[in-house]
Copies of this chain bind each other. A is one copy, B any other.
Amino acid sequence: MSEPHPTTGLDDTVHQRVRLGILAMLNGPQRCDFTLLRTELKLSDGNLNRHLAVLEAAGYVTLTKRLDGGRPRTWISATKTGKHALAAEVAALRQLLERVDGQI
């Protein structure tokens, strides 16, 4: 094994289970609202907020609050940097799966 092990290049900001789920959900669509992320990823408000704050601080997502029928609604989008970070994670995971497959 001369190449570095694929897990050595993983970025914990993206790899962490919940944040990986958030970035994966934001990869396709233009944006997701807070409630959809919370429901799909089975999170509490506090837990989702905490992980969104980490991703926002890293420059991986942006949050926009808008009134929707008088009620505040938070929309979340992945930035270009966030999409690149997910792509790097996905590439590393693919390498890892290839190694694990090769061991069987």
The B-contacting residues of A in range 76-104, CB under 8 angstroms, are 86, 90, 93-94, 96-97, 99-100, 102-104
- Is A10 interfacial (CB 8 A cutoff)? yes
- Is A8 interfacial (CB 8 A cutoff)? yes
- Is A68 interfacial (CB 8 A cutoff)? no
In the assembly, what is the distance between CA of A60 and CA of B95, in Å?
Answer: 23
Residues on A facing B (Cβ under 8 Å): 1, 4-8, 10, 12, 15, 17-18, 20-21, 24-25, 27-29, 40-42, 86, 90, 93-94, 96-97, 99-100, 102-104
Q: Which residues of B contact A41 (CB under 8 A)?
A: 5, 7-8
The answer to whether residues A5 and B28 also contact, given A93-B97, A100-B86 and a CB cut-off of 8 A, is no
